[in-house]
Chain A
């Protein structure tokens, strides 16, 4: 017994003296997030930031905590509301710390784990790297990252949670964005009526109008809104504008702002059609208030430019996506089946601070 004791003390001495690492028994519960086979069975993640139960939960707390903003009044959820499939319902938000109007429309957070480019122009390469941008931007959360780290360190609950998730007795900016990324990656929508239809489940019967709409979307929209994610994760000029001014900050140039490729002038990321009826207004600047305006745009209001995506080019120098009123109606009926009520009511995605108070 005593010898073991001595050995133990000796080893502790070593650990205390030279090794700041936390003992190995503090590890989070690593998990895989399952999705239907047609979405690839599991949710992808970067090797450096695997999902854990505690990591997602910590990210969820941070997502809803206004401590992340410089005035402690704005959280990620201010502009990414669950009831709107994590979009904000306005064209260009003014809810940031400065009150200035943002230059682009807040995108919905749905199935982003599969995206390799984020923002409307794909400038952010993953959710971890992206997160520094809204945190620091003066017109969004305006947060000094170093100050945020210090603020979080003052809260024992956060200290414990970071330690449990990342195995380090400290909080760092990279760990904040990793936890937030885990939560955002966990925001998966795959329980719409359409999904039930795909899986032959109860409640998955589409009526004839919805089926007609599904067929039309497959025929007329799927060059970009392809596959079961309803996006090709790529960038296209969809005929919104004829010119792409440099002001302000090149945002109107779309993908070209990032790649400097002249062929990508005015090309913006294809958003998913999942939950599309919840995520109005539409386009990178929120210019279309309703889905009807969007369909009218494709049917008759597109404008030409040298970089207009070839998918829209018709015969005789015409362009657009011809749609009759009946076809538009059918498409909207199908869009309704893409609304995922499980997703927008899932308690695991909700504000943890509100639930606790109940």
Chain B
């Protein structure tokens, strides 16, 4: 008798494992995964932390950090209803040369169905931006260069690097650190068709993130960029909260930098 109990137990245990977390049976009625690819581009080239890119305004730019926050991802169903991905906060891009590129988000447990679009935001919503210890929310983490200590809040984009300064005739550092509620931007993308997302499908939404658009809106060799003025203004050009017009121009540009490349889905075998 004891051994029968024992084997039943083992059997049940394994069933428990599989049915709860490792379902190998594909079922088109069951929730699926879609990957969101955010491919960072400067013109035709991929953004990395070693190349030099030339903006439409003629600035020669090299990044040392290219990081931004994507949040509050929603998928739009065929009938127009919305599925919001809970706690969807992601640090995207590349933090340093020690860090790998983060360009892919796996959106899991999406209810099975046909979807025609995606909405997401750059930055974090005002409620989440009220404090910087929000570990409960997705990737969000404080003290890793994506938030400000002197004025609580997240950096929606943290782009650092250097550019060739025409006046100084040498490379000068720059920082585009943009935050505050006013610069939280929501992006809406219509696929132009529908894709099925379910347990039996592998699906992808591929966007290109055209960083050049931001440097088209704000040229690094333009005047009036310095805030706060550092000890040696000549080696630094930055935008943080202020001057507000520059911060606004950058935010308006990053709201427009996401280009739908394509969406696809394939039935899994």
| A residues apposed to B, CB below 8 Å | 2, 6, 9-10, 13-14, 17-18, 46, 48-49, 119, 123-126, 128-130, 132-137, 145-146, 172-175, 177-178, 246-250, 257-258, 260
Across the interface, name the chain B residue whose C-beta is closest to A6: B9
Q: B131 and A13: CB pair below 8 A? A: no
Decide yes or no: A2 and B5 within 8 Å by CB, A130-B149, A248-B231 being known contacts. Answer: yes
Which of A10, A48, A136, A247 contacts B149, CB < 8 Å? A136
Q: A124 and B149: CB pair below 8 A? A: yes
Q: A123 and B135: CB pair below 8 A? A: no
Q: Which residues of chain A are near B241, meaning CB under 8 Å?
A: 260
Which of A2, A14, A46, A132 contacts B132, CB < 8 Å? A132
**What sequence of 0s and 1s flags, for each residue 219-251 of chain B, a beta carbon within 8 Å of any chain A beta carbon?**
000000000111100000000011010000000
Query: CB of B265 within 8 A of chain A?
Result: no
Q: A129 and B132: CB pair below 8 A? A: yes
Give the contact-size bracket for chain B: 20 to 34
Which of A49, A174, A257 contacts B142, CB < 8 Å? A174
**Stretch touching chain A among B10-18, B61-69, B111-119:** B10-18
Minimum Cβ distance to chain B for residue A48 (Å): 8
Q: What are the nearest 7 A-B pairs in CB distance?
A: A133-B149, A145-B143, A174-B135, A129-B152, A123-B151, A174-B133, A125-B152
Q: Which residues of chain A are near B21, meaning CB under 8 Å?
A: 17-18
- B residues 83-109 touching A (CB-CB < 8 Å): none
Minimum Cβ distance to chain B for residue A207 (Å): 44
Q: A173 and B231: CB pair below 8 A? A: no
Across the interface, name the chain B residue whose C-beta is closest to A178: B133
Q: B132 and A128: CB pair below 8 A? A: yes
Across the interface, name the chain A residue whose C-beta is closest to B19: A14
Across the interface, name the chain A residue whose C-beta is closest to B18: A17
Q: B144 and A145: CB pair below 8 A? A: yes
Decide yes or no: A123 and B150 within 8 Å by CB, A173-B142, A174-B134 being known contacts. Answer: yes
Query: CB of B39 within 8 A of chain A?
Result: no
Given contacts A9-B13, A137-B149, A172-B135, 4 further A-B contacts (CB under 8 A): A13-B17, A129-B132, A132-B143, A177-B133
Q: B229 and A246: CB pair below 8 A? A: yes
Chain A-chain B contacts (Cβ-Cβ < 8 Å), number = 101
Q: Which residues of chain B are near A18, meaning CB under 8 Å?
A: 20-21
Q: A17 and B142: CB pair below 8 A? A: no
Q: B20 and A14: CB pair below 8 A? A: yes
Interchain Cβ contacts under 8 Å between A and B, 18 examples? A6-B9, A10-B12, A13-B13, A13-B17, A17-B20, A17-B21, A48-B131, A48-B133, A124-B149, A128-B131, A132-B147, A173-B135, A173-B141, A177-B143, A246-B228, A249-B228, A260-B241, A260-B242
User: Which one of B8, B141, B151, B229 has the highest number of Cβ atoms from chain A below 10 Å of its Cβ?
Assistant: B151
Which of B133, B142, B144, B244 contacts A260, CB < 8 Å? B244
Q: Please measure, in the bound complex, the distance between the C-alpha atom of A126 and the C-alpha atom of B223, giving whole angstroms.
A: 35
Minimum Cβ distance to chain A for residue B103 (Å): 21
Across the interface, name the chain B residue whose C-beta is closest to A248: B231
User: Which one of A6, A129, A136, A178 has the highest number of Cβ atoms from chain B below 10 Å of its Cβ?
Assistant: A129
Q: Please measure, in the bound complex, the distance between the C-alpha atom of A17 and the C-alpha atom of B20, giving whole angstroms.
A: 8
Minimum Cβ distance to chain A for residue B109 (Å): 13
Q: Which residues of chain A are near B20, meaning CB under 8 Å?
A: 14, 17-18
Q: A129 and B17: CB pair below 8 A? A: no
Q: B150 and A145: CB pair below 8 A? A: no
Across the interface, name the chain B residue whose C-beta is closest to A2: B5
- B residues 126-165 touching A (CB-CB < 8 Å): 130-136, 141-144, 147-153
Q: Please measure, in the bound complex, the distance between the C-alpha atom of A337 and the C-alpha atom of B157, giving whole angstroms.
A: 50
Q: Please measure, in the bound complex, the distance between the C-alpha atom of A172 and the C-alpha atom of B20, giving whole angstroms.
A: 28
Q: Which residues of chain B are near A49, meaning CB under 8 Å?
A: 133
Q: Please measure, in the bound complex, the distance between the C-alpha atom of A247 and the C-alpha atom of B229, giving whole angstroms.
A: 7
Q: Please measure, in the bound complex, the distance between the C-alpha atom of A123 and the C-alpha atom of B148, giving whole angstroms.
A: 9
Q: Please measure, in the bound complex, the distance between the C-alpha atom of A155 and the C-alpha atom of B150, giving whole angstroms.
A: 30
Q: Which residues of chain B are near A175, meaning CB under 8 Å?
A: 135
Q: Please measure, in the bound complex, the distance between the C-alpha atom of A172 and the C-alpha atom of B16, giving whole angstroms.
A: 31
Decide yes or no: A125 and B130 within 8 Å by CB, A137-B149, A175-B135, A258-B151 being known contacts. Answer: yes
Which of B16, B134, B142, B242 contacts A132, CB < 8 Å? B142
